[in-house]
């Protein structure tokens, strides 16, 4: 008999076909997110699950799923999974590193350029029929070329963002809890600085750290006040790394010039204060969303699940035990 698995959200048909070769699959192609009660009840007789960042895996859920052996996230971030609870319950947890770095790096640049050049604000003005004449001082923005790019977190995605800065002849500085190797610093042409230096020197501050208790509100009121009033903040990492209420206040009062955000606290019910601001570019958590990359992420999660339940050795195991 094939092991039973649950796929919690809609995925590509060929990914489901691949999984069906190994498993009895319960899918959710209608894509209605499960609340925690529904998730626990649907998972209670399953050995594996392919999940997304909206599914919370914690002790409470695991105690109701005695057969569960693996949960495979379709995401590189895994703050929705309590790894320690999984370890105690002998449940393997995996993520999808590597396959989304370039696409997420590209989208970070989309946010940088759109925010610096006030693209969404200008488009809204045009669409509203307000464009009556050319003006010399219309939508004056921030030059990217020769500017200083400050990167929090020079991991895989941070490095992609840094390497793309060469084309704009930028100065690149970074801060991380661990300094990168000289080879990485050289490839990224990035100089290691303190958090304070980064905030005060950068024209563009972009965040590429995972969310954890240590990075919760890494950027709050104090940090925003250390940035240049002409600077912009970009976040395509995780909601919660930035204190959204403090950011709204900083954007409203002119403490910083603008922000480009793909992620928010409390997604998808983000702080409505953002909608009242013109100097913020907003996206609904789509940084990795190219056709090719979302497919690679789903397939990698499926491969992790197949390996976990057949060999016990998934390639992207997060909690070896
Ligand atoms: C998306 O946010 C991811 O973590 O892959």
Rg (CA), the chain: 21
**What's residue 321's pLDDT?**
86
**Could you tell me if the CB of 77 is within 6 A of ligand 1?**
yes
Tell how far the Cα of 94 is from the centroid of ligand 1, in angstroms: 13
> Residue 31 belongs to what domain range?
4-99+291-310
Active-site residue, 216 included = no
Please tell me the predicted confidence (pLDDT) of residue 153: 98
Structural domain includes residue 170: yes
Ligand 1 nearest-atom number relative to CA 263: 2
**What are the structure tokens assigned to 19, written together?**
């999984």
187, 212 Cβ separation under 8 angstroms: no
Residues in the chain, pLDDT under 70: none
Distance 210 CA to ligand 1 centre (A): 9
Residue 15 is predicted with a pLDDT of 98
- pLDDT for the residue numbered 293: 98
Which two structure tokens, joined as six digits, stand for 285? 């958590």
Residue 119's pLDDT is what?
98
pLDDT at residue number 20? 98
Ligand 1 centroid to Cα of residue 75, in Å, is 4
Residue 122 has a pLDDT of 98
Q: 29 and 148 share a domain? A: no
Domain assignment present for residue 298? The answer is yes
Is residue 180 assigned to a domain?
Answer: yes
Q: In this structure, which residue's CA is closest to atom 4 in ligand 1?
A: 77
Q: Domain check: are 91 and 115 in the same one?
A: no
Domain assignment present for 262: yes
pLDDT by residue (tens digit) across 308-317?
Answer: 999 999 999 9
Name the residue of 55, 73, 75, 262 whose CB sits within 8 Å of the most ligand 1 atoms, as the mutation to test its pocket: 75
pLDDT of residue 266: 96
For residue 203, the domain's CATH number is 3.40.50.720
Query: Contact at 8 Å (CB) between 42 and 6?
Result: yes
For residues 106 and 248, state if they share a domain: yes
Which pLDDT score is estimated for 93? 98
33 φ/ψ sector (left φ>0, alpha ψ -120 to 50, else beta): beta
Is the same domain home to 113 and 220? yes
Q: Does one domain contain both 32 and 141?
A: no
**Vertex 49: Cα angle to 296 and 61 (nearest 5):** 135
Is residue 133 domain-shared with residue 268, that is, in the same domain?
A: yes
Q: pLDDT tens-digit profile of 55-108?
A: 999 999 999 999 999 999 999 999 999 999 999 999 999 999 999 999 999 999
pTM: 0.97
| The predicted structure's pLDDT at residue 254 | 98
Does 306 lie in the same domain as 162? no
252 and 122 part of one domain:
yes
Residues 123, 198 within the same domain: yes
* Residues 92, 106 within the same domain: no
Count of domains forming the chain? 2
**Buried b / exposed e along 22-32 (16+ C-beta atoms within 10 A):** bbebebbeeee
44/158 same-domain check = no
Q: Residue 316 falls within a domain, yes or no?
A: no
In the residue annotation, 285 being an active-site residue is answered as yes
Residue 102, phi then psi, degrees to nearest 5: -65, -45
Establish whether residue 288 lines the binding site of ligand 1, counting it when its CB lies within 6 angstroms of any ligand atom. yes
Separation CA 131–CA 126 (nearest Å)? 5
Residue 60 lies in a domain: yes
Known catalytic residue: 24? no
């Amino acid at each position: 008999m094939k092991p039973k698995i649950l796929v919690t959200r809609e995925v590509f048909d060929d990914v489901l076909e691949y999984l069906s070769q190994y498993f009895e699959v319960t899918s959710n192609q209608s894509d209605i997110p499960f609340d925690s009660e529904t998730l626990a009840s649907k998972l209670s007789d399953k050995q594996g699950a392919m999940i997304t960042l909206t599914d919370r895996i914690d002790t409470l859920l695991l105690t109701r799923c005695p057969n569960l052996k693996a949960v495979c996230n379709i995401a590189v971030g895994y703050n929705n999974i309590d790894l320690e609870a999984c370890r105690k319950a002998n449940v393997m947890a995996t993520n999808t590193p590597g396959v989304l770095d370039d696409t997420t790096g590209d989208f970070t640049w989309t946010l940088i350029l759109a925010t610096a050049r006030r693209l969404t604000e200008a488009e809204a003005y045009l669409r509203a029929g307000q464009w009556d004449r050319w003006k010399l001082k219309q939508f004056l923005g921030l030059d990217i070329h020769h500017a200083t790019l400050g990167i929090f977190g020079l991991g895989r995605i941070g490095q992609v963002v840094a390497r793309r800065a060469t084309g704009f002849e930028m100065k690149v500085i970074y801060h991380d809890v661990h300094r990168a190797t000289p080879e990485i610093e050289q490839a990224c042409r990035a100089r290691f600085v303190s958090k304070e230096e980064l905030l005060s020197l950068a024209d563009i501050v972009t965040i590429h750290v995972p969310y954890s208790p240590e990075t919760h509100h890494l950027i709050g009121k104090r940090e925003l006040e250390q940035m240049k009033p002409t600077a912009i903040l970009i976040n395509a990492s995780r909601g919660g790394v930035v204190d959204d209420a403090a950011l709204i206040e900083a954007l409203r009062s002119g403490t910083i010039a603008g922000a480009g955000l793909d992620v928010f606290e409390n997604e998808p019910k983000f702080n409505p204060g953002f909608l009242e601001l013109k100097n913020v570019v907003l996206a609904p958590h789509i940084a990795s969303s190219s056709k090719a990359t979302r497919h690679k992420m789903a397939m990698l999660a499926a491969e992790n699940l197949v390996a976990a339940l057949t060999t016990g050795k998934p390639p992207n195991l997060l909690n070896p035990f």
